[in-house]
Structure 1
Amino acid sequence: MVMFHKRSLTSAVLENPEAWQVLASAAPELENSPTLQQWSAFPVEWVLGLALGEHDSRIPTIMDRLAKIEDTTPTEPDEAAPGCRPDYEGDDVAAGSAILHLPSGAELHRMAEVVLEGPSHGNPFTDVELHSDFTQGHTTITVGGFYDGEGRYVIRFLAPTTGDWTFSTRSNARSLDGVVGSFSVAASERPGPVRVSDKFHFAHANGQPFRPVGTTAYAWTHQGDELADETLRSLAAAPFNKVRMGIFPKDFIYNSNEPLNFAWSRREEGTFDFTRFDPSYWQDLERRIQQLEGLGIQADLILFHPYDRWGFATRSAAIDERYLRYLTRRLSAFPNVWWSLANEYDLLHSKTDADWDRIAAIIAEEDHVGHLLSIHNWTYLWDYSSPWATHCSLQYGELLGKKVGQWRHRWGKPVVVDEFGYEGDLDQGWGNLTAEAVTQQFWETTLAGGYATHGETFWNPEEIIFWAKGGSLRGEAPARIRFLSEICEASPTGRIEPLPGPFDALVGGVADQYEVHYFGQHRPLFRDLVIPEGRSSRIDVIDTWAMSITAVPGEHTGKVRVDLPARPWMAIRLTTID
């Protein structure tokens, strides 16, 4: 029995006579409220805040009463997960008789593939289970394999060290069981997967710092080759090194076209067969992830989202599990992958917090690399104290200079503001921010010790909008974001930490070595600074919009008045002289 809760859909409340009576009796004005109808596909507690006012004292009472009422909205019954078949191949098939193809040119931090040519009868996606144990010395790493169609089975491995590795397979299919082999992993200059580093930051496996500068193109891999290739050309010229992108296609305003292919195969009548994946879809996705790697870009893969007319995100737990295991086995050996369990998880009313914990556990079990893992909100922030969450992936649009510091203190993890709104001119408030506003959000988030993610939503008649479909970037913010990155990279550590500062400016940098004071929309004519005794500094005036740096002549000590042009978007940089 599922009771109503704060993330229940408003439509479910409106369609339930008992629940509707709770609303009507507690707040009669809701009976004619257009807000409830307009936002019926969104969480009821949030919609009540829109209709009545966020702090209306009646809302907690309404929610308490709703929590005693069963949500009778029809749901799809769960299905039993089909298990592998012990009798998939008979005793007449020799154990380990599948044709083996060893990895060629294996390198550190580069995916190695062990390929087996094996059986294709029945449904190998569900009938066959395959694992391999990769061993070097006292280290053994178990990796799951997957079926890639036409009798081809693949086990992908991202070796954490150079040298010789041996492997041995295990499978219920006799021909795939007990296959052994070895290969050597050579050294390489590849930086490897990104990890959390120094609590609030990131670095590659080889220790090279990584400062995520993200952008958003949710459904760019679902648009066909011509537009996807244009997207890659745009990214190659842009300052971004991380892209938020969905495994599933998206159904939303300005994004309603039908994709060319899907994660699952379709039956003749057009319905999806959730027991059979479509290898051609996955092969195309992998090609795009590899192309991103060639550009030095991380693929932040969104596993579920609510904008879904195909029903992919609201299937049974068994279908979800089969999808997650297949996805992770196919993609975890790519070094440039991040996992995002969901975009706006709190709009996926069919999944509870316990479901997200379960989903995260499946990913962790199957991912032999241990890629970064998080989840993204719409209204209700996730509690990132969850042990599986490596970092915070947040949607939030206001006062980021203050909020980032609070989140760092609360969760003790890197803070990535993956959505605060988009530069563009759409008719939606989230999609018509100015370039100045986007640039300011990046500067405030950065100096507060966090990381920000860009998006672009300029209208065009073909509805090719970068935030959804990719294409060409048109905005003025990316150039300013690149300039900010150069300011960060000039610090002694290549990173920015929040530093103590006055009430009316954000200060970040490296303590005692590198300070950047940012004034945002304010426009001071000058600023008085005090350089501590015994230290001298170079001082630069930075115009964050014009992307200019003007040195203040001399070496400075003690109290210094720095003249400014009395216009917004200015900053001052102090660099300690050794």
Structure 2
Amino acid sequence: MKILFRMLCLVLLPLAIFAKDSVEKWARYEASFQATISGNPFVGIPFKATFSNGKISKTVAGFYNGNSEFKIRFMPEEEGEWKFVTSSSHKQLNNKTGVFMCVPPTGNNKGPVKVANKYHFSYANKERYIPVGTTVYAWTHQSTALQYLTLNTLKESPFNKLRFCVFPKDYSYVKEEPELFAYHQSKKAETIQGKTKYYWDFTSFNIPFFDSLEKRIDQLDAAGIQADIILFHPYDKKRWGFDSMGYENDLVYLQYITARLASFKNVWWSMANEFDFVKYKTWQQWDDYSRFVYENDPYRHLLSIHNGLEIFDNWKPYFTHASIQNCSAVEDFGRAVLYRDAYGKPVVYDEVCYEGNLPQRWGRLSGEEMVAAFWQAAIAGTYAQHGETYRMPGDTVFWAKGGRLVGTSIPRIKFIHDLQKQSNGYWQLADVWRDHQTAQVDSSEYIIYFGKKMTNQWYFNIPKKNGPLGTAKYKAEIIDTWEMTITPVNEVFEVRSESDYRLIDINNKSIRLPDKPYLAIRLKKIK
């Protein structure tokens, strides 16, 4: 009988385990609780849950989801059994317990993106992440049909990161009135001198708005795209008042949105777009808000703040990377790396102007200029962000509202991304002091970029710093970054030391190049 009992236990134990709720590592676990609250359920009701798996304990904030429903969300970062217990001053929400199994990730689930190798990024599963981003500021505030067109466009593009705003924008080429807002109105809107005057209750959130936002974030995740969410921006212009809610209301908003979205693995926090153009917030407030988001995100998602003209204190410890607007930083050699060296963390040039045909100077880059910006960023060990601002009859400006992409830079951006993925590591300058054209992974691979300069001959030479030790031989390829061609060179190059700083070929060999701009050479060591 004892033997039969043990055999039965062995059979039933796995069934008991798998009968529990299960969620993949880095996916989202959710639990709901009903509670009747007198007064405003969005504020004043502390509600949180502590999750533990025996080794790790993590506390997450809950939130009110309407219809007397409170939710907690959790992103498990370790496999195995997790238990949780809630705590609240409200009896109906206090001391609720639960258990679930965290199972291995499947498919495209690589986990959230984190900082790696000081200046770069990787997924939580250690796979390299090379950001290739674009911008669609107000896409979630457009019609449902346009939002789905944008999603389909993004799925067919090379982009794996999207910057967009929580709040709507009132700016050139995006003037539409959204169907959904983040807040309920405290009283009916009025029309005064031809303009709509809104009266918001900044302590009462509109659940359908957040349901729609969360659906779009999940759809981006399914497409392999990181959601770089802009929490504030200056382009409200007193139309809705979301840029001037006041300090306490701003904190209520940040508390609510971090409680709702922190468990989404593809979320990045951008505190603001062009923070210094927001008239109603001080530098001290930005510091407070940034620290608040950091402290209220139990998973430490990537966090940045984007500048207009003045640059914020990006070296603050709660900023994981620098989000920089500066077109000149990627216009020529030796500039992009300066921000990286100054901040000692990854640099993403989230605005380098946009490819398009707008009259504004920021919206009329050529495709060649946009591609060159990506190359200048890449060889410096930094990252550029795309944006498209073509205005055509019957179409949208993609950067503002989404829709279709028509620019010439996109396949070339994919081309450089593919080259980076083919490498065995991250690109970075081989000699940051003296050679701003030569990037390397290590001594096994070099990329020399010529930019706008046209030269018909290149004599083999690479920096001695971080170079090969002893004898080394290399094969070369000519890369046409615009035509997207890779042409092998028949010669084999063998290095010798020319000076304390350069390595050249022992026979002073050179490569003949087409007389055109935007060429590069890739060198690979022969094993």
TM-score by length of 2: 0.88
The Cα offsets for residues 63-115 of structure 1, whole Å up to 9 and x where unpaired, read as xxxxxxxxxxxxxxxxxxxxxxxxxxxxxxxxxxxxxxx99431100011011
Structure 2 residue aligned with 1:387: 317
Is the contact made by 1:505 and 1:519 (CA closer than 8 Å) also made in structure 2? no
Query: 1:236 aligned to 2:185?
Result: no
Structure 1 residue aligned with 2:421: 489
Is the contact made by 2:202 and 2:245 (CA closer than 8 Å) also made in structure 1? no
Query: 1:452 aligned to 2:384?
Result: yes
Letter of the structure 1 residue corresponding to residue 286 of structure 2: W
Q: Distance in 1 between matches of 2:329 and 2:164?
A: 26
Structure-2 change in CA distance of 1:498 and 1:518 (3 Å)? same
Among residues 357, 360, 366, which one is paired with 1:428 in the alignment?
360
Structure 2 residue aligned with 1:273: 201
* Paired residue secondary structure (1:300): strand
Query: 1:260 aligned to 2:190?
Result: no
- Displacement of 1:208 after TM fit? 1.2
The count of aligned residue pairs is: 476
Letter of the structure 2 residue corresponding to residue 485 of structure 1: H
- Displacement of 1:563 after TM fit? 0.6
Structure 2 residue aligned with 1:563: 512
User: Which consecutive unaligned segments of at least 5 residues does structure 1 have?
Assistant: 1-101
Is the contact made by 1:286 and 1:331 (CA closer than 8 Å) also made in structure 2? yes
* Paired residue secondary structure (2:522): strand
The Cα offsets for residues 101-131 of structure 1, whole Å up to 9 and x where unpaired, read as x994311000110111222553211242211
- Displacement of 1:503 after TM fit? 6.7
Q: Distance in 1 between matches of 2:438 and 2:99?
A: 53
Structure 2 residue aligned with 1:184: 101
* Paired residue secondary structure (2:49): strand
Letter of the structure 2 residue corresponding to residue 542 of structure 1: I
- Displacement of 1:175 after TM fit? 0.7
Query: 1:306 aligned to 2:234?
Result: yes
* Paired residue secondary structure (1:383): coil
Among residues 145, 151, 157, which one is paired with 2:74 in the alignment?
157
Structure-2 change in CA distance of 1:273 and 1:399 (3 Å)? closer
Letter of the structure 1 residue corresponding to residue 517 of structure 2: P
Q: Which has the higher strand share?
A: 2
Structure 2 residue aligned with 1:467: 399
- Displacement of 1:550 after TM fit? 0.5
* Paired residue secondary structure (1:252): coil
Percent identity over the alignment is: 39
- Aligned counterparts, 1:49-198, within 5 A: 104-119=21-36, 121-189=38-106, 190-198=109-117
Query: 1:338 aligned to 2:255?
Result: no
Query: 1:291 aligned to 2:219?
Result: yes
The Cα offsets for residues 364-421 of structure 1, whole Å up to 9 and x where unpaired, read as 2211111010100010112211111110000001142422211111110001000010
Q: Distance in 1 between matches of 2:395 and 2:180?
A: 20
* Paired residue secondary structure (1:149): coil
- Displacement of 1:168 after TM fit? 0.9
Is the contact made by 1:195 and 1:203 (CA closer than 8 Å) also made in structure 2? yes
Deviates most, 278-287 or 403-412 = 403-412
Is the contact made by 1:293 and 1:336 (CA closer than 8 Å) also made in structure 2? yes
Structure-2 change in CA distance of 1:126 and 1:535 (3 Å)? same
- Aligned counterparts, 1:184-223, within 5 A: 184-189=101-106, 190-223=109-142
- Displacement of 1:135 after TM fit? 1.4
Q: Distance in 1 between matches of 2:394 and 2:177?
A: 14
Is the contact made by 2:337 and 2:432 (CA closer than 8 Å) also made in structure 1? no
Is the contact made by 1:505 and 1:517 (CA closer than 8 Å) also made in structure 2? no
* Paired residue secondary structure (1:126): coil
Q: Distance in 1 between matches of 2:372 and 2:454?
A: 14
Structure 2 residue aligned with 1:42: none
* Paired residue secondary structure (1:549): strand
* Paired residue secondary structure (2:24): coil
